[in-house]
Amino acid sequence: MLRPEEMTRAVIVGSARNLDATIECLYDLGVLHLIDFTEQDEEFMLGQPLAGASDASQKLLKLRAMIRTLNIDEHKPVGQIPVQELRDKLTQALATLDLNTSSKAEDRQRIQSLMRERESEIKSLEPFRQFGIPVEDFDGYDNVSSFVGICKTAPGPALSSRLSMMELFEEVRKPDVAVAVFVRNDDRSEVSRILAEHGFQEVKLPRLKGDPGEIIERLTKEIEKLNADLQRIETDLDAIRKKFADFIIASEEDLAIEVLKAETPLKIAASANSFVIDGWVPSSRLADIKTALGDLTDGHVFVDTVEAHKEEEPPVKLKNPGAVKPFEFLINLVSTPKYEEIDPTLILFITFPLFFGFMIGDLGFGLALAALGAFIRAKFRSSEDLSRLGTIILLGGIVAAIFGIFVFAEAFGIPFHPPEESPDEYTWQTVVDIPVHPMLDKMHDIQEMLAISLVAGWLHLSVGFIFGFVNNFHHNRKHSYGKVAWLVLLLGLFAQLMAIAGNSTATSAFINDTVLFWMPGSTIDVMGIGVLVPALAMILGAVTLLPFTEGALALTEVIGLFTNLVSYARLAALSVGKGAMALAFNSMLLPLVFDSGNILIAIGGALALIVSQLFFVFFLGALSSGIQAVRLNFVEFFLKFFEGGGTDFNPLKYERKHSVATK
């Protein structure tokens, strides 16, 4: 929590004949983040691929070609095939499969291209079949020019008014007109101009002989025959697919893993008789590597730790307990934290559901969201990101439901009991009497909610500055004192805002009496606003310190800090906005359902109510609340301390989905 997994720089050294076993072992453990070897010299060069690498890659290429031909890249095999079985059968299967599929694939391609050719011939002949002219007679004259094609509008009248000698064939079809015009060569350009005005497009006729109608009939029959051939090939391919798809996919996976392992030496240093593997290992797993490699090679491979140079940054593997882990998804959306940085996942785990829950604040919608989250989690178990998102929504939904019961006392935008201000409102009281009364009413306690938002903002931002202080403490002391100045400035601003609110809200009264009780309450009057003297002193003091710690430019961000704090008003704003929207739909549509007395209107009203609540309040509300809860963390909070840009911990390992390793 708050810190990523501690990493140790490990160097693994051994004699060349143990390289295979070492690589195998490292992949099985999956804890070494390899550092690519780059500084070659006379002694140490990049290693050579393990034996069998090129053979495996060739087979892999063949299999991938087959996967494309058979179109099974989306195929999901049922169950897993033992590796031994795959390897035993592979050579034989490849030979048979290659012979069958590649010839079939070629045939298929040939037939498909023939069919396309025939179809395009039919398409170009079709418009002219009614003219009764043999295909070879459409062109090829010495003194006569022919125009054959499609016009948008009939060019007949225009042509006959201009030309004395011509032969015109016209066939009006639904959207266009098929045209064949034969004219003297002298009139060629004139005709071409007139036709262009009618949107003429030339059609190139195929070099065939005979009546177009008969040709089309013949071609159609040919296509039918080709299609039958194609079907036969597809059936054969289907049979291959059914029989071998599982095998091919599983073999592809196994071979890909083989190649991955076999090519690993290309990233490590090797001399004639030895190898050196350099990388990062989680400190807690170092002993595992040592024992495993020691046992495997009878102590012929050594694992040693080295002091890392300062500029070499270890890879980052976030370390959070199970419940917090899903929130790493949100961190990854921004960037991986640096190794030295605080990992803010825990704060997201706390603040996201609280912010989200406060903004939704409704028992009904909260439970619905929790159900949606649980559904996403269960449905997309295989996708890590989606199942994490599901968990986040689930937690947010649960907190929203809790806020809905105990704080706002409402479900689906309908309060449990009528608020004092509007006793006629529809409530759950008519259905069931829930003995909880609201602490806050979204429509009538806006000031209170704003005050709560500001307190949340103050706490959240303060944590951000404290993190910033810790992050900078070791490598930039001055900068870290700057964070203290910001923290004081923030407290001054907050105290001033609370002083303005005074006793008008219970929250500000509580804060003034308990958290800020030590602050003298003396005020001076500036432009009609009572300015709290200690708050002013803190603000001025911090502003004076800022140029010395953070640089003069930081002064421009003082206003920014105020807007950051006020930015948390969105918590109240969204909650109120959503509440108002739900109330509006309810007060428009509920009377239709219950008071209209007409069953049809009641059903229509109920449908409209469900649709409007579902889309406008539930989906839009959840979406905007989610985005805003994330935003407050990403923008207001993260910008106080978070730099990111760390390297993800990416150890040597592989995952078998369709194949099972055998001893």
Reduced to 3 states (helix: H, G, I; strand: E, B; else coil), residue 615 is helix
CB of 573 to another protein, least distance (A): 5
Closest by CA to 361, choosing from 429, 305, 411, is: 411
The window from 88-96, 266-274, 436-444, 566-574 that contacts another protein (CB under 8 A) reads 566-574
Does 334 sit near another protein (CB under 8 A)? Answer: yes
- The residue assigned the tokens 């177009």 is 212
> Between residues 165 and 529, which has the closer beta carbon with respect to another protein?
529
- Would you tell me the crossing angle of helices 477-501 and 506-513 to the nearest 10 degrees? 120
> Between residues 81 and 359, which has the closer beta carbon with respect to another protein?
359
Closest by CA to 143, choosing from 181, 179, 180, 186, is: 186
- Would you tell me the crossing angle of helices 345-360 and 363-379 to the nearest 10 degrees? 130
CB of 485 to another protein, least distance (A): 22
Q: Which of 111, 268, 395, 450 binds another protein (CB under 8 A)?
A: 450
CA dihedral angle for residue 646, residue 648, residue 649, residue 652, rounded to 10 degrees: -140
CB of 445 to another protein, least distance (A): 13
CB of 566 to another protein, least distance (A): 6
Does 13 sit near another protein (CB under 8 A)? Answer: no
Q: Segment 237-296, which members bind another protein (CB under 8 A)?
A: none
Query: Containing H/E element for 534?
Result: helix 533-549
> Between residues 346 and 569, which has the closer beta carbon with respect to another protein?
569
Closest by CA to 488, choosing from 521, 532, 452, 458, is: 458
CB of 571 to another protein, least distance (A): 11
> Between residues 364 and 468, which has the closer beta carbon with respect to another protein?
468
> How many residues bind to another protein according to rule CB under 8 A?
19
Does 444 sit near another protein (CB under 8 A)? Answer: no
CB of 645 to another protein, least distance (A): 10
Q: How far apart are CA 65 and CA 427, in angstroms?
A: 65
Does 650 sit near another protein (CB under 8 A)? Answer: no
Q: What's the token pair of residue 525?
A: 């009057």
Binding letters toward another protein, positions 623-642, x by CB under 8 A: ----x--xx--xx--xx---
Q: How far apart are CA 287 and CA 282, in angstroms?
A: 10
What are the backbone dihedrals phi and psi of residue 181, each rounded to the nearest 5 degrees, phi first?
A: -120, 135
Reduced to 3 states (helix: H, G, I; strand: E, B; else coil), residue 7 is strand
Spatial contact of 605 and 472, defined as CB atoms under 8 Å apart: no
CB of 327 to another protein, least distance (A): 14
Query: Containing H/E element for 221?
Result: helix 212-262
Does 470 sit near another protein (CB under 8 A)? Answer: no
Q: Segment 572-601, which members bind another protein (CB under 8 A)?
A: 573
CB of 334 to another protein, least distance (A): 3
Spatial contact of 177 and 226, defined as CB atoms under 8 Å apart: no
CB of 422 to another protein, least distance (A): 15
Q: How far apart are CA 375 and CA 394, in angstroms?
A: 9
Q: How far apart are CA 553 and CA 543, in angstroms?
A: 11
Q: How far apart are CA 240 and CA 499, in angstroms?
A: 79
Q: What DSSP character marks residue 554?
A: G
CB of 559 to another protein, least distance (A): 10
The window from 71-79, 89-97, 230-238, 567-575 that contacts another protein (CB under 8 A) reads 567-575
Q: Which of 112, 305, 563, 662 binds another protein (CB under 8 A)?
A: 563
Number of Cβ atoms within 10 Å of the Cβ of 375 = 13
Does 231 sit near another protein (CB under 8 A)? Answer: no
Closest by CA to 621, choosing from 580, 587, 574, 586, is: 574
Q: Which of 350, 446, 509, 581 binds another protein (CB under 8 A)?
A: 446
> Between residues 404 and 457, which has the closer beta carbon with respect to another protein?
457
Does 654 sit near another protein (CB under 8 A)? Answer: no
Does 567 sit near another protein (CB under 8 A)? Answer: yes
Does 647 sit near another protein (CB under 8 A)? Answer: no
Q: What DSSP character marks residue 316?
A: B
The rounded Cα 307 to chain-centroid distance in angstroms is: 38
> Between residues 512 and 567, which has the closer beta carbon with respect to another protein?
567
- Which positions touch another protein (CB under 8 A)? 333-335, 446-447, 450, 563, 566-567, 569-570, 573, 627, 630-631, 634-635, 638-639
